[in-house]
Homo-oligomer: A and B are copies of this chain.
Amino acid sequence: MDIKFVKAKTLKEKPDQSNLPFGRIFTDYMFTMDYDPENGWHNATIEPYGPISLDPSACVFHYAQEVFEGTKAYKTPDGHVQLFRPQENFARLNRSAKRLCIPPIDEDFALEALKQLVEIEKDWIPTAPGTSLYIRPFIFATENYIGVHVSSTYKFFIILCPVGSYYEDGLKPAVMHIEQVYARTVAGGTGEAKCGGNYAGSLAATEKANEEGYEETLWLDGATRKNIEEVGSCNIMFKIDGKFVTPKLTGTILPGITRKSIIQLLKSWGETVEERVLPIQELLDDYHAGKVEEVFGMGTAAVVAPIGKLNYAGEDMVFNNDEIGPSAQKIYDTLVGIQHGTVEDPFNWVVKVC
């Protein structure tokens, strides 16, 4: 499939790199394509970023048949542009799509489209340490029909926004809260899909956590509330008694690409990594026994998010003196280094754009 290019009449002014907000400034162009049963995915276009017109009866407004992804493009010190495991994102997008009965995209073609788009927009990629170009591919249902049903038509987009470093002044440990009332998902639900509904349902817990002074919510499993699952926007890793432990992928948590990469990295360093069910009670016991060395979140946005304090049922667990641990720091430096092209990439994770 050819990608049509529609040139913008004027280009926007690039924002100040020293103060980039997350997710509010978009580049000049976006990639779009359409799906209908006769033509499949078609009409691939790189066009000026701008509004979409939809009928009020479009499925997406009523039944949330929508999936998305998040990845980043980085500029290396010598001016090259590169992506981090983007194939994983398109593969996950298709798995999410399948769960929501959305027709799959051609993953190779989507990657090709992304590369073309990023190449066109390469001047938008910030260069300051920790900054990057955030990439948001997403698909939603567009059929003008308000019966509860699988839509017959869809739109796919890739939009881009330059983003600052998650940590303005270096890694800073977060304060989190383990949620006991709200649930994010349950086995058989949509927990392992990156779909809108998971996030809409989680907002209330995050609001409550924020009001109580916590930055984020750590979810337990919805069925028993006994096992640790993941944070609202990242996976979680514990270093307990010298070993790394992270909840295993049982269908209710998002299979994070950062998680997968960190597991691989740790194993390559000879560390022991256990992917398994991790009961909150076990964590509490290990904590009280002084065995919990480090805790950190893992996700595209922050890469590594050290967790200094974790509140459960009124008790504050404090890890590593509320400071960044050596493992979190080493993983962060290595992964960010690979992403930005300053550290060798022995895993072939990086995909060069130009």
Contacts and interface: CB of A to CB of B under 8 A. Distances in A.
Contact of A101 (B181, B197, B207): B207
Interface in A117-162: 136, 138, 140, 144-150, 157, 159, 161
A261 interface: no
A203 B102 CA distance: 10
Interface string A101-121: 100000000000000000000
A54 B56 contact: no
A23 B181 CA distance: 36
Contacts of A52: 53-56
Contact of A65 (B23, B99, B144, B203): B203
Interface stretch (A87-95, A183-191, A343-351): A183-191
Interface in A224-281: 224, 232-233
A99 B138 CA distance: 25
A302 interface: no
Contact of A198 (B144, B149, B197, B203): B197
Most buried by B among A138, A146, A149, A181: A146
Nearest to A100: B200
B186 A63 contact: no
Given A147-B22, A189-B186, A200 B66 contact: yes
A324 interface: no
A167 interface: no
A5 interface: no
Interface in A168-225: 181-190, 195-204, 206-207, 222-224
A310 interface: no
B185 A189 contact: yes
B157 A62 contact: no
Given A138-B62, A188-B222, A222-B188, A148 B199 contact: yes
A340 B185 CA distance: 41
Contacts of A22: 147
A3 interface: no
A245 to B, nearest CB: 25
Contacts of A224: 223
18 contacts: A24-B147, A49-B56, A50-B55, A51-B54, A56-B159, A60-B196, A61-B138, A63-B199, A65-B196, A99-B204, A181-B188, A189-B189, A189-B201, A190-B197, A195-B197, A196-B197, A197-B197, A197-B200
Interface of A: 22-24, 26, 30, 49-57, 60-66, 68, 99-101, 136, 138, 140, 144-150, 157, 159, 161, 181-190, 195-204, 206-207, 222-224, 232-233
